[in-house]
């Protein structure tokens, strides 16, 4: 028998940590120190579970980079003492947090699994128990004495995804997330099937470190038929703006009108990094495939390839915080760092 894995459960807030007061119908957070009492099945897992919680759990709609730093700090403080980490998080911004942590946790060689639920843990039909139990089970998996998973993941409704590849697609169904440009890393059914060929291979020779320097002076512009020059110009003239993501049509296409070319070119020349990300949930930016994207490529717009908007936001904050050289920035962004694009 090998050593039992030590798993740290980090509660940030969200529906999964709520129980219903059946007298009032209101939801309230429950004491995570009494987790085993609420979910006795956890005692059957072959691992030791400890819990830590935000002092004041938050709704994930209030998530921001300062909380990301807090989560990353909790992992940093406990990294040597635990074999894996499960982060309980509200589903609304879980993909953003997962993407951010994937960049902040450099040379990660242990699993960090984000999970949550659509219904509270005390609800009769809750999805919380399965999501939590399987997330802990996956975080505890070992292969030849080493953690089987060594990246930031998101587990929801029987599937484990690379977190920086996910998008929340449904606010009502249990199957709330999708990863349309990258296969699931694992699927939970009668058996737990791990797709080994899809996993990131950690570089265990490099020392784990946490990057907490994030720069959120960025914006997202979603194109639509009829968007006008005044709106885009106003955004691009925001004081201190350092980068902008332009959500384009299809394979990275955008208007070819002179005014649009002009405002984008002016921004690039000003030193603002402009990233081309497709509005489509699946597929990739292919600048130059159509005439309506050739002008963007010629201007030096960054090719977001098949990155999600959530991951593009996190990657920009991370790279800007790393103070990447301006000449190298485009190349670094277009290069996969944590399996976030290809």
| Closest among 110, 118, 217, 226 to 172, alpha carbons compared | 118
How does strand 243-248 pair with strand 273-278?
A: parallel
- State the greatest distance between any 2 C-alpha atoms of the chain, in Å, as a whole number: 69
Query: Catalytic residue at 15?
Result: yes
| Closest among 307, 269, 284, 166 to 316, alpha carbons compared | 307
Alpha helices in 251-308 (DSSP H): 258-270, 291-299
Q: Which of 15, 93, 134, 309 is catalytic?
A: 15
Residues in the chain: 342
Tokens of 187: 């699927």
Bridge partners (DSSP) listed for residue 172: none
Burial class (CB in 10 A: 0-12, 13-18, 19+), 58: middle
Cβ-Cβ contacts under 8 Å for 214 (sequence gap 6 or more)? 65, 68, 69, 100, 104, 317, 318, 320, 321
Q: Which residues of 141-165 are buried (b: 16+ CB within 10 A; e: fewer)?
A: bbeeeebbbbbbbbbbbbbbbbbbb
How far, CA to CA in Å, does 89 sit from each of 82, 173, 279? 19, 17, 26
Q: Which residues are catalytic?
A: 15
């Amino acid at each position: 028998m090998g050593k039992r894995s030590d798993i740290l459960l980090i509660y940030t807030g969200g529906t999964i940590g709520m129980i219903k007061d059946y007298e009032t119908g209101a939801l309230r957070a429950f004491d995570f120190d009494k987790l085993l009492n609420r979910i006795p099945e956890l005692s059957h897992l072959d691992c030791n579970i400890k819990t830590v919680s935000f002092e004041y759990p938050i709704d994930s709609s209030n998530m921001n980079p300062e909380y990301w730093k807090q989560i990353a700090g909790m992992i940093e403080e406990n990294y040597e003492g635990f074999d894996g980490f499960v982060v309980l998080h509200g589903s609304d911004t879980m993909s953003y947090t997962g993407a951010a942590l994937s960049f902040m946790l450099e040379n990660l060689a242990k699993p960090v699994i984000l999970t949550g639920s659509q219904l509270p843990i005390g609800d009769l039909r809750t999805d919380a128990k399965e999501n939590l139990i399987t997330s802990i089970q996956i975080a505890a998996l070992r292969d030849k004495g080493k953690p089987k998973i060594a990246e930031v993941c998101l587990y929801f409704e029987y599937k484990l995804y690379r977190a920086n590849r996910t998008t929340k697609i449904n606010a009502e169904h249990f199957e709330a997330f999708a990863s349309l440009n990258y296969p699931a890393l694992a699927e939970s059914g009668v058996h737990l099937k791990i797709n080994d060929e899809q996993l990131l291979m950690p570089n265990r020779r490099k020392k784990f470190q946490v990057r907490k320097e994030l720069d959120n002076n960025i914006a997202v512009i979603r194109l639509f038929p009829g968007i006008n020059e005044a709106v885009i110009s106003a955004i691009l003239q925001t004081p201190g703006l350092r980068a902008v993501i332009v959500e384009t049509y299809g394979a990275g296409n955008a208007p070819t009108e002179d005014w649009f070319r002009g405002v984008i070119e002016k921004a690039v020349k000003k030193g603002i990094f402009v990233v081309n990300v497709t509005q489509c949930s699946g597929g990739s930016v292919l600048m130059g495939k159509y005439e309506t994207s050739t002008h963007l490529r010629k201007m030096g717009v960054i090719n977001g390839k098949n990155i999600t908007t959530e991951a593009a936001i996190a990657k920009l904050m991370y790279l800007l915080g790393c103070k990447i050289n301006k000449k190298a920035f485009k190349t670094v962004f277009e290069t996969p760092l944590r399996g976030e694009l290809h």
